[in-house]
Amino acid sequence: MKIVIPDDYQDMVDRLSCFGLLAEHDVTRYREPAADFEQLVGRLHPAEVIVAIRERVDFSRALIERLPNLKLIALVGRASTTIDYQACKDHGVLVSIGVSNAPTAPAELTVALIVASRRNIALEAERMRRGDWPCTLSHRLAGSTLGIFGLGAIGSIVAKAGAGMGMNILAWGQDTSAAKARAVGYDFAASKADLFERADVLSLHVRLRPDTRGIVGPEDLARMKPTALLVNTSRAELIQPGALLAGLRAGRPGYAAVDVYEQEPITGGDHPYLSMPNVLCTPHLGWAEWDNFELYFRECFEQVVAYARGAPMRLAH
């Protein structure tokens, strides 16, 4: 089969041990994103199978209609917000999905961003590389309040790490978050407003769904302390468009650490956050580590093999 893997940003999918599962097939990989829609169509047009790495390609109806050879979109992960599932169904395109949820890697990155931002690590490391000597004061974590918006699998690990560093944990979210907070002795905010007002560090760990898109608005950010840090390693769309940038410019919150963006990838330094010394940016690294990639891509490639053999599959619809 002709298989296309677009947007392999790390240029490493072929170095995974599980890549051998596709040895019998004709595989084409692209590292750089397509320059425009027509180039994307040209790249994907030959494909019978497309390996969709998370949400890097928008599989709109307009795109699906231009891919007459396509039979299967093999998704790396459990779900995607950038696939028009109805359009796939209308054109006879199957969508296979993974089953694993590996929270450790994104939780580790979240904790790293919290420490790096509060202690000015990236800022001072760069200044020292330039020949300067440290010249800022940072913020202690111990004794401060770590707000966790969504005490799920990832949020629970981040909360545990924060508690281990002496932070006071303040959770907020659905009823399941409240039950988990009570079970481990964390404080549970009286309201979303209470969470944003009290947190010194506020980390978002909410799954993106239609009802959570834009769940954080300007009014929430305006309640944050001017010394507070907002961390988002989940999804950029949880925050209303432009709200975080406006809030940072207004001084509430005073800091941000961000791993996700409304439009990815960001190349050429083309994002206003990158010129702001109070914002620490990483390029969607939360899930990007070897063990995670071996797990998620193996599940994906196993579905491709199952399709080729006519075996049962895990389908999104």
Catalytically active residues, by annotation = 235, 264, 284
Neighbours of 69 (CB within 10 A): 12
In 3D space, the residue among 288, 248, 247, 243 whose CA is nearest the CA of residue 264 turns out to be 288
What residues does 257 pair with on adjacent strands?
A: 231, 280
| Structure tokens, 161 | 């790490």
Helices (H) and strands (E) in the chain, counts: 11, 12
∠ CA 22-24-27 to the nearest 5 degrees?
A: 55
Hey, what amino acid is at 13? V
Side by side, which strands form the sheet with 168-172?
Answer: 187-188, 168-172, 145-149, 201-204, 229-232, 255-258, 279-281
| CA distances from residue 281 to 40, 110, 184, 255, 309 in whole angstroms, order as listed | 27, 12, 31, 11, 43
Hey, what's the torsion of the CAs at 165, 237, 153, 233, to 10 degrees? -40
Distances 34 to 23, 38, 44, 61, 261 between C-alpha atoms, Å: 25, 8, 10, 18, 18
Question: 127-146 burial, b for 16+ CB within 10 Å, e for fewer?
Answer: eeeeeeeeeeeebebeebbb
- Determine the Cα–Cα distance for residues 180 and 167; give it in Å rounded to an integer: 17
User: What are the structure tokens assigned to 15, written together?
Assistant: 């170095």
Peptide bond preceding 226: is omega within 30 degrees of 0, i.e. cis?
no
**Cα–Cα separations (whole angstroms), residue 100 to 9, 106, 153, 200, 305:** 22, 14, 12, 32, 18
